[in-house]
Amino acid sequence: MDLKCYLYPGWQPRIRPASRRREWMDATPESFAYRCLPLATANAHGWELLSPCGFEAMWNGGAAVEDVTICADPGTSPMDAPVSLFGQATLTFHVAGLFRTPPGWNLWVGGSPNAAKDGIAPLGGVIETDWSPYSFTMNWRFTRPHHWVRFEENEPVAFFMPVQRHAVETVVPQFLPIDDDPELKAQFEAWSASRDAFHLQMREAPPTSPSDKWQKLYYRGVAPDGTPGTADHQSKLRAPAFATCPMKKA
């Protein structure tokens, strides 16, 4: 599918494929956080919009627009700096791009997954980008007053990915007893027993190699008996970069 970002004259958004890396995950012993494949996959499952400038901001506890103070780094263009636009303890980034998705597809826009920031939290939104001629903003909301928050230049300030409209509404969620699927029950019980045995082994005779300290069944995409879980299992994900189209000649 095509994901297009139309640029008005002067717009230069900094967009990159989302990174699977997180500083806090790097800092875990032996970087063990990356053994959780769902975390790493979520991190990289889209694109990131980067801040064009460094700045600090603080909320004084009030609800008015002027209750948020923003101090951009020296030399920052006013067009690049975030603003206090809505009040209600929010900080706003203008997104320099008009996005277009195929019919029936929206963009989910929010903060980068698994990337918490002290004192402020990203707000999420779903936008119908298959028809809308309107730009949108990315907003963050302060979580406590009188605390300076720092964003560095090229730090991700938004994360986006396409989602199919109405897909959630077509889902039929239901609870079922596990006995309704004997094969699934047997696989789960086999995995649970192997997991308990593995943890016991780790306590009694921990291995020296980091790669032997976790089971890797889900990471490798295999069932407890070693058979493939699905043919298109993903252990790595990298979204493609936005391509720059050549300028059309008059």
Residues of the chain with pLDDT > 70, as a percent, come to: 98
**What percent of the chain lies above the pLDDT cut of 90?**
82
Across 3-17, 203-217, 218-232, which has the greatest mean pLDDT?
3-17
Q: What per-residue confidence (pLDDT) applies to 250?
A: 45
Task: Give tens-digit pLDDT for 105-156.
Answer: 999 999 999 999 999 999 999 999 999 999 999 999 999 999 999 999 999 9
Taking CA atoms, 191 is separated from 49, 200, 201, 211, 224, in Å, by 40, 14, 15, 19, 5
Q: Quote the pLDDT of residue 202.
A: 78
> What pTM does this model have?
0.91
User: What pLDDT is attached to residue 245?
Assistant: 66
Read off the pLDDT of each residue in 68-94 and give the average, rounded to a whole number. Answer: 97
Q: Are 49 and 95 in contact (CB under 8 A)?
A: yes
The Cα 233–Cα 24 span in angstroms is: 26
Name the average pLDDT for the chain: 94
- Per DSSP, helices labelled H in 14-53 are 23-26, 37-43
Q: Which residue has the higher pLDDT, 101 or 199?
A: 101
Give per-residue pLDDT as tens, 21-75: 999 999 999 999 999 999 999 999 999 999 999 999 999 999 999 999 999 999 9
Residue 212 has pLDDT above 90, yes or no: no
Q: Please answer whether residues 213 and 206 qualify as being in contact, where contact means their C-beta atoms are separated by less than 8 angstroms.
A: yes
- Decide if 99 contacts 134 (C-beta within 8 A): no
DSSP 81-132: S-B--S-TTEEEEE---EEE--TTEEEEEEPPTT--BTTEEE--EEE-TTT-
**pLDDT score, position 215:** 80
Q: Sort strands 105-110 and 156-164 into parallel, antiparallel or unpaired.
A: antiparallel
pLDDT digits (tens, 9 = 90+) for 168-177: 999 999 999 9
Which tokens hold the place of 242?
Answer: 């936005």
pLDDT of 201 reads 79
Cβ atoms of 69 and 124 closer than 8 Å: no
Q: Which residues of 65-94 are buried (b: 16+ CB within 10 A; e: fewer)?
A: eebbebebeeeeeeebbbebeeeebbbbbb
